[in-house]
Chains A and B, each alone.
Chain A
Amino acid sequence: MIAALRAFGDRVLGRGEAAITVPIFDGALKPNQMLADAEIVGQFDDANDITTDGKALLVADGEQVVRVGDAGKAEITRFDRGITALHALPDGGFAVALGGAEVRIVGGPSDGRRWTDAGGTAFHAVNAICNRSDGTLAVTDGSRRNDCAHWTHDLMERGASGRLIFLDRGSGAAREGADGLEYAFGACASGAETLVSESWRHRLLAIGPQGRRRVVLDRLPVYPSRLVAAAGGGFWLTAFAARTQLVEFVLREPAFRRRMMKEIAPEHWIAPRLRSGQSFLEPMQGAHLRTMGVLKPWAPPRSYGLVIRLSPEGTPLYSLHSRVDGINHGIVAAAEIGGFLYMLAKGPSRLIRLALPDIEKEVAA
């Protein structure tokens, strides 16, 4: 009762959960142009994830897994459905999520093992896979209602049905590590815990083997996605879009959202996108985008590109940005190999990279 009254009061006064506020990009998240200036490695049709086996970079592009090296691109294997997640396994082979509904292992000692459900519930939007030191796979299933391609629908429906699932490669057992997550998108092992991005809550959780949750990083000004361990310790956390006050406002107006979803094409919703500026029908973000013919890089972004370097404790150390006036938006995956940080910009569907020494040098400056 008290909680209900408080929620009502918050709504009337615009505070607490109803405060239409967005954290600022400052401190370690201070904007720069590093992603915008990154080298383009390759253009893909429908790239969804990247991973590395330590020797080469693998890209999940549509239905195929592609090896990217100095010699160019080479297809490794092809599936009957689109790949929504890809992870190279340390003992050989890789794990893929097909159509968000099945996790399969290809190559290595567990070759051919597959999972389609956990805890009696079928997979629906598996979007990230990581290997844990005990040999299990940690998998995030973003939503039970909306598949990976319909993530915007899940946000507008205020979806909270994401799961963390542990898959035992040895026994084939599958169990839920956490449920009710507001779009789980990205997992990475961190000691006994598993770090999970909860996109709609703008935070990073550490989930223990028994499901105990700990907030590692919250109040991010972005929607976090996959994360990977960094060679120098800590993690690379990607973010596929930035929050704006306009979207926060829309998320607090259910009637408006329902009508918008019913009457307007999804690409023109007031919602974050992986890329923007394609049509004049796109909604403005509550501020002038263009002044004297120049696109303001600090205008509220509809799409954004961000990678955050985290310490082993999860504290942001620095970040790489592609702002409103950039194009490398919708960063959904990163991988470190050969002294380079490779990132997948899903907005323009391209693979980009930055040399790690250059990043360190730029950050130090």
Chain B
Amino acid sequence: MTTPILELRQATKLYGGVPAIESVDFSLAEGEIHALVGENGAGKSTLTKVMAGVVSLSSGTMLIAGREVVPRTPLEARQLGIAMVFQENSLVPSMTVAQNLFLGQEKFYNRLRGIYIAAQQFLQSLNFDVTPTATVAQLGAAKKQMVEIARAVLHEAKVIIFDEPTASLTPEEKKYFFDLVRELKRRGVSVIFISHALEEALLISDRITVLRDGRHVVTDDTANFDRARVIQAMVGRDLSKTLYAERKAHVRPPGERVLTIENLRMAPMVKNNSLSVFAGQVTGVFGLVGSGRTETFKIAAGILKRDFFHGGEIVLRGRPIRYLTPAPAVRDGIAYVTEDRKVEGFFETMSIARNVYMGLLAKLGHRRPLVLAKEAEAVGKKWIEALNVRAIGQDVKVVELSGGNQQKIVIAKSLVQEPTLIVFDEPTRGVDVGAIAEIHQLIDRLAEQGNAVVMISSYLPEIMARSDRILVCRQGKVVEEFSAGEATEEKIMYAAIH
């Protein structure tokens, strides 16, 4: 047997005495695509951060090509041939795409034009449609992800770790990405691939390692896995039947028309968009990145503004509305649960209780001029229990929680406002399967209580399993509506692309 290019033996990492990973064995062969799966909090990120030199092991050893190494910084890891594409964006927003690509590889004298030309050629070779002269801050989530990936490839790493690389990519972009990963494999590069989309792991990887609660559960060839076995290994229980049922067994009938959007415009993203949302139903909204779906509902929630002149009409329960800030929308019962929880969803250094309480304060406004510590504690406690947030206590900072639990906090922050129209934007992006099931149950429960629920998602099985009606957006407007009964993945995708 050949020596693994990367190996971890009995790897343990303790945070304040609590193990994030414990006695984990892991090996990666040369030219192998190895998927690392597990619920949020299972220890995947910690394991890969150890490899990438972001954190050091508390005990255990790490070997590269049979040689024991202890990378203390990402730079040291990179010099050892290990690069990591982080789930959280690690680009410098004020710099251009090209500057970000060559960051750390600058020469004494850098000719900007030369960098741009090189970046252009390199991005084109990867089939990535990103302008090298664009500032990173101007890019959407998908394009930022592309730049991250391109940077790792550019550094000619022997091992590239992708943490949730496809979460913000469109289906077409995902295809390019998979082709790229296969090309890396052909060149002899080893890839560690962390993803919550199990189909992707099953599709692209050679081997799969499953972690649960910081411990190694199983490693096997992908051919020996199916979806049910992976899920069972991840959560210790069989969720496959309930998570993405092929089709809803019962479609909820429409209630009162809660929201009507008529000919909404916000150049250049929203173009003459019209739709309705009904009480007692989950309205699924599907579209590729840039289709204007998020922007449409952000306008309804007062986060973005429509065009000033002839920007269309938004009607909430028969009353025309035009919010200039989110506060009046919150008071009128509209909640928008963001797709980008790390940037827009919570205050990461504040406690769970304070974050949830912040949502309540947003609703109460001037009626609650003082922050009442006891009330904040009570609210935090209530919602930790209600949404089954797994945390040591309500004083834990949100940044210390796993992705699934962070998402629950974002949702709690909105639900504490007792909204009647709730817009979930990518509610399960970067969330483990256990939390996905809980969030889905919550979405169903909210609709059954008579609320109008909108679920924006790029994940077709999720849209099809949860929605009572499905709206498809393309180029800034709704182009097609499907009932839950008639929708198929092919029909939805056709409407979204053609």
Contact = CB atoms under 8 A, between A and B. Distances in A.
Interface string A298-325: 0000000000000000011100000000
Interface stretch (A16-24, A82-90, A95-103): A16-24
Given A14-B310, A24-B276, A219-B315, A315 B320 contact: no
Interface stretch (A25-33, A133-141, A165-173): A25-33
B481 A26 contact: yes
Interface string B382-421: 0000000000000000000000000000000000000000
Interface in A307-361: 315-317
Given A16-B320, A30-B481, A218-B318, A23 B308 contact: no
A30 B485 CA distance: 14
Contact of B313 (A21, A27, A315): A21
B481 to A, nearest CB: 5
Contacts of B278: 27
Interface string A279-310: 00000000000000000000000000000000
Contacts of A20: 263, 310
A365 interface: yes
Interface residues of A, number: 23
A142 to B, nearest CB: 25
B275 A24 contact: yes
Instruction: Indicate the size class of the contact surface on chain B.
Output: 20 to 34
A329 to B, nearest CB: 22
B318 A219 contact: yes
A30 B316 CA distance: 20
Contacts of A24: 262, 274-276, 478
Interface string A1-41: 00000000000011110011111101110100000000000
Interface string A84-126: 0000000000000000000000000000000000000000000
Nearest to B272: A245
A16 B485 CA distance: 37
Contacts of B308: 13
B318 A23 contact: no
A13 B309 contact: yes
A27 B263 contact: no
B257 A22 contact: no
Contacts of B211: none
Contacts of B274: 21-24, 26
A251 to B, nearest CB: 15
A75 B16 CA distance: 94
B255 A315 contact: yes
Nearest to A30: B481
Contacts of A218: 318
A215 interface: yes
Nearest to A313: B256
Contact of A365 (B260, B313, B486): B486
Given A24-B275, A26-B481, A219 B260 contact: yes
Given A24-B262, A315-B256, A14 B311 contact: yes
Contact of A22 (B262, B276, B311): B262
Nearest to B251: A364
Contacts, number: 68
Interface string A232-261: 000000000000010000000000000000
A interface majority secondary structure: loop
A215 B469 CA distance: 26
A27 B262 contact: no
Nearest to A248: B263
A21 B275 CA distance: 12
Nearest to B253: A317
B471 interface: yes
B479 to A, nearest CB: 9
Nearest to B278: A27
B333 interface: no
A26 B262 contact: no
Contacts of A215: 318
Interface in B444-485: 469, 471, 478, 481, 483, 485
Contacts of B320: 15-16, 19
A12 to B, nearest CB: 8
A19 B322 CA distance: 12
B486 A14 contact: no
B135 to A, nearest CB: 32
Interface in A141-168: none
Counting chain B CB atoms within 10 Å of each CB, the highest count among A14, A20, A21, A24 belongs to A21
B469 A27 contact: yes
Contacts of A315: 254-256
A14 B309 CA distance: 6
Interface string B257-289: 100101100000000001110100000000000
A15 B263 contact: no
14 contacts: A13-B308, A13-B309, A14-B311, A15-B320, A15-B322, A19-B312, A21-B263, A21-B313, A24-B478, A26-B481, A27-B481, A219-B260, A315-B254, A364-B485
List the 8 closest pairs (A to B, CB-CB), nearest first: A14-B310, A21-B262, A24-B274, A21-B263, A21-B313, A19-B313, A27-B276, A26-B276
Given A24-B275, A27-B469, A219-B262, 18 more contacts: A14-B311, A15-B322, A19-B263, A20-B310, A23-B274, A23-B276, A24-B274, A26-B276, A26-B481, A27-B257, A27-B278, A30-B483, A219-B257, A219-B315, A219-B318, A245-B263, A316-B254, A364-B485
